[in-house]
Structure 1
Amino acid sequence: MLTFPVKPAYKFAKEKNLEAEATKIHKMPITWDRSIKTSVKRGNLAYLFRKNNLLDEFIEKHWQEGREESGIKNLKFIEKIREDYEDFLVNGEDDPDEDEQNDQSGQAIEIMDKIMENHLRDFLSNNNLDKIEPGLKLYNRDGISGREFQIDGGRIDILAIDRNNKPVVIELKVSRGKERVLGQIVCYMGWVDSNLKMGRCRGIVIANEISPALQRGASRVPELQLMQYKMSFSVEPVAII
């Protein structure tokens, strides 16, 4: 989940004897005119955990994305919204500046990108991996699926097995294929090699657009392949009942 998760946060607060404070946050009325209201409560929950030295534990147990760049940005965003609301309650004024409005737009874009990335992951892992490469199938061993495959310090979008029974690490980037994915996937490939003991694995980065910098970097990793996907839409008539 890209945004700070509310339901796990309330449950976590109860486990840590902070139920009264969390309930107060849940019931607090949001009186300003801005559409961002849930973010105020998210920000207050994050602040509650931070001041009780529990934020890192919550992120570790319930919000792994909170350690990624998008999660860090979201955390800063909701904490800024909490501060803005506190100022509003004191001063009775609310005038978000241009930078904050840009942050909100950026958050919306990132959320949409993440939703599309999840759809792409689900589509490919649902018996469509052969569209990437003939014979490619989802890893499945001892009931553990290769979709969102959990490893130490991260999560592989798709872990697949090729027709030679060798592992393939697949990372998806709906937006432009950013250079940092290179270090990410190489680390994932190293983990798979060391822990699954299935032979040297390969990696595939799939993005809507591959940057020249990523192409240059990938040229130094022989086992890595870059692929670009294209989306298409169709419109079909539906009978009126």
Structure 2
Amino acid sequence: MMLSFFDQFASSTYMGIPLVALAIALPWILYPNPTTRWLNNRVLTLQGWFINRFTQQLLLPLNTGGHKWAALFASLMVFLITLNMLGLLPYTFTPTTQLSLNMGIAVPLWLATVIIGMRNQPTAALGHLLPEGTPIPLIPVLIIIETVSLFIRPIALGVRLTANLTAGHLLIQLIATAVFVLLPLMPTVAILTATILFLLTLLEVAVAMIQAYVFVLLLSLYLQENV
């Protein structure tokens, strides 16, 4: 019974098409394309306002060199939010619960920030590995610690997103199973449990949005150190 709870995270195929590929391609179909008209409809206006506000907030701590990443960060934010939110619907698959996908997004973007720092300002990029004023005996130890910390960053990005979404989905399924089991036995307790399930679902919606924002925000902070 416990193993069946993890079946929702298994990527199955339908007519030879992997569902994870379909789930990844779906967000780009849902959003309308901007038009050349002076006045757009409410959906396009709200979409443009959200993307502009998020991009402005995200690029505040960055200098001009980091503004080139605005389109990439905005697209990644919308992409992750859509995947996380669609995964909360019944009979859907959440690609961001797969560690391989999250690491495939986190590692290249983190590596790009490191390469940019090494190319544009190698002295400052390497200076992050050794804080100023460090005693001489502690220099080798601190360099090793900071190097390990640097390489742990993409792992932390991928594992954080995977763990939060996986835990939320498992908890929702566990409580939903409890509601179905308790309904014929103790209806009052089942109703109270269903109320908790509804509140947990609202919390999971917030987690889906917050985790996407945290993922992109941490990438922007890594970029800030290297531009």
TM-score by length of 1: 0.25
More strand per residue: 1
TM-score by length of 2: 0.27
Higher relative contact order (CA 8 A, sep 6+): 2
More helix per residue: 2
